[in-house]
Amino acid sequence: MHDRISNVGQIYTIGISNAGILNIGDSHQATPKARTMAIQKEGPTIKKDLQFEDYSIFRQKANWPKTLQSAKVRKKTIHHDVNINVRQVSLMALSTSSIFQVGNLNKISSEARVKHFRMLQDNEQN
């Protein structure tokens, strides 16, 4: 990987969360990972203690597409300028293992696992 100089004038962003990355400059490798439980609930607070290990989605190995693992790609990039010039970026949000990169990134492996819960109150009237 050939180093380049990243020149950034302005970046406006509202939020970065859940293993989101905003990176200016060169990086050899990025591996953001997020494990999240999203709960939509009616009524009083949750009394149950939720653990990632209780749900198989967080214990399973990732099922990456085989074509990506075995594909051999030859790539030649010619940089006509040693500088990467960015005048202005307006970015609303980065979340759940996403990356905004200004510069070189040699290898990326990103993963997000989300378990959604919907806990509704019993609608029976007493």
Q: What are the boundaries of each domain within the chain?
A: 5-119
For 27: left if phi > 0, alpha if psi spans -120 to 50, otherwise beta; the answer is: beta
pLDDT at 89 over 90: yes
The model's pTM: 0.68
Q: Where are the alpha helices (DSSP H) in the chain?
A: 56-59, 66-70
User: Residues 17-66: pLDDT tens digits?
Assistant: 888 899 998 888 998 988 888 888 887 766 678 888 888 888 888 877 77
Quote the CA–CA distance of 87 and 44 in Å, as a whole number.
48
Kindly indicate the confidence band of residue 97, based on its pLDDT and cuts at 50, 70 and 90: confident
DSSP state of 116: E
